Amino acid sequence: MARLHPSAPSLDTLFDFAIPSHALAWEPIGDRVMGGLSTGRLLPLPGGIGAFSGELSVAQGGGFASVRSAAGRFDLSLHSGLLLEVRGDGRVYKLSLRTDPYFDGVSYQAAFATRAGRWEEVALPFESFRATWRGGPVPGAPRLDAGQVASFGLLLADRQPGPFRLEIHAIRALRIPAAPVGP
């Protein structure tokens, strides 16, 4: 797991799933857009968490489930990456960032593995995000511009059929400490 913790970091909360509206603002987008049968959604649960859960199906060419936050404007240019507080099911998920408001544009994704039943902090440096379009790499795409993030997404695309569940407390941005001034 990557470490982002410089000396004296500060965290800015982007999504706090103890606030039910933060979970309810995420829309499901899955393989049904191409005829697949997977399901997935993000719902608030008691205890201040959101749960991205559903069932992955590989029938009819499917094999992925995702949710995406409402479009907004997140200037994360003074941050080095993101910190997620999650409890997974042992599967590998992806966090997706979009820098444009379009439904089917390029997204920047970073994968993270979970350990079944264990709460953990997952650090994702912005350098680890790779440009993708419909699940494939985008050669020659510019690097992620953290100052232009328009939306966030969670994605499961391991093509392993069956139920899944990723619980999440929060998504936070790790602020880069200011450099000392003077001699």
pLDDT in tens, the chain (183 residues): 444 444 445 889 999 999 988 888 899 988 887 788 999 999 999 999 999 999 999 998 888 999 999 989 999 999 999 999 999 999 999 999 999 877 778 999 999 999 999 999 999 999 999 999 988 899 999 999 999 999 999 999 998 999 999 999 999 999 866 555 555
Right CATH for 12-138+146-175 from 2.30.40.10, 2.60.120.430, 3.40.50.970, 2.60.40.1730: 2.60.120.430
pTM of the model: 0.88
3-state secondary structure of 39: strand
Token reading at 22 = 């933060």
- Kindly list the distances between the CA atom of residue 87 and the CA atoms of 24, 38, 49, 93, 108, in Å, as whole numbers in the listed order: 19, 21, 10, 11, 22
